[in-house]
Structure 1
């Protein structure tokens, strides 16, 4: 049984919750999100909290129980506070810049890599090679960060590439010379 699913979800004062059948709408100062809740899950919306319950006790219901609670909690946090993800460019000549609504990356290839920025996501480029991705949808922020990172993942010999902030790359020893 999920311990996370049992926890109540607190609702901040600036967040509004609407439940239409199995679709939950969450709106706050930064945006609006909605999600369809599986039929095996019930939601009890109170004035300042949400309780997640199971309709029937099956294996699939147990799996969806904690997941649903976490997804709804992330929606509430996103529309009230926003999520952010930091990336760091490591390598000689690696640069990032914003051009119109696109992120242009120079990553040592013969061509610049252009990434479209989705609606609802803000990107800020720092002077020291940092990229800050902010948005109210945690899934979208994480997916964009993973897409950017996949263009030049960090390599273990020199440590070059795009790293998440605070990520440590285990370095490998290169080839040794002949004796």
Structure 2
């Protein structure tokens, strides 16, 4: 039994929620998100609270129960506050620039890496080695941050690469000179 799925979701005043059968539309000051929920779960909207109920007690329904509640809660938080991820560039000469709608990364390759910034995502560059990704869709923010990180993941010997803020790289000892 999911303890997360049982919890009601509070809806802030600046967020509108519309439920049509299994499709939920959430509109807020930062954007609009739509998601279809499994037919094994019912959604009730009352008194600025959303509650989810299981229609049967199968294993599949139990797996989706807490997940569905968390996805809906993230949608509400996203359209009201936005999500952000912070990436740090570690390495000599590693740079980031925004040109038109592209993120240009210089990561020690013989060529710059170009990434198209998706709609709904805002990229802010602080100083020279910090990239902040903001957006109202948590899934899209996380995926774009992971795509950037995949271009040069941190390596364990010198610690160079792209890493999330607060991420700790387990360092390895290099060769010993005999």
Once the 2 structures are TM-superposed, how far is the Cα of residue 128 of structure 1 from its aligned partner?
A: 3.4
Aligned counterparts, 1:106-145, within 5 A:
106-145=106-145
Q: Does 1:102 align with 2:86?
A: no
Partner of 2:50: 50
Q: How many residues are paired up? A: 178
Counterpart Cα distance in 1 of 2:177 and 2:46? 70
Cα displacement string for residues 39-69 of structure 1 (whole angstroms, at most 9, x for unaligned residues): 0000011131100110001000000000000
Counterpart Cα distance in 2 of 1:19 and 1:50? 10
User: What is the TM-score when the length of structure 1 is the normalising length?
Assistant: 0.98
Counterpart Cα distance in 2 of 1:44 and 1:85? 32
Cα displacement string for residues 75-118 of structure 1 (whole angstroms, at most 9, x for unaligned residues): 00000000000000000000000000000000000000000000
Unaligned runs of 5+ in 1: none
Contact 2:96/2:128, CA 8 A, preserved across alignment: no
SS at match of 1:13: coil
Aligned counterparts, 1:1-179, within 5 A:
1-178=1-178
Once the 2 structures are TM-superposed, how far is the Cα of residue 164 of structure 1 from its aligned partner?
A: 0.1
Unaligned runs of 5+ in 2: none
Hey, which bits of structure 1, 4+ residues long, moved more than 4 A? none
Contact 2:24/2:36, CA 8 A, preserved across alignment: yes
Contact 2:84/2:135, CA 8 A, preserved across alignment: yes
Counterpart Cα distance in 1 of 2:68 and 2:161? 35
User: What is the TM-score when the length of structure 2 is the normalising length?
Assistant: 0.99
Counterpart Cα distance in 1 of 2:19 and 2:127? 44
Counterpart Cα distance in 2 of 1:102 and 1:59? 44
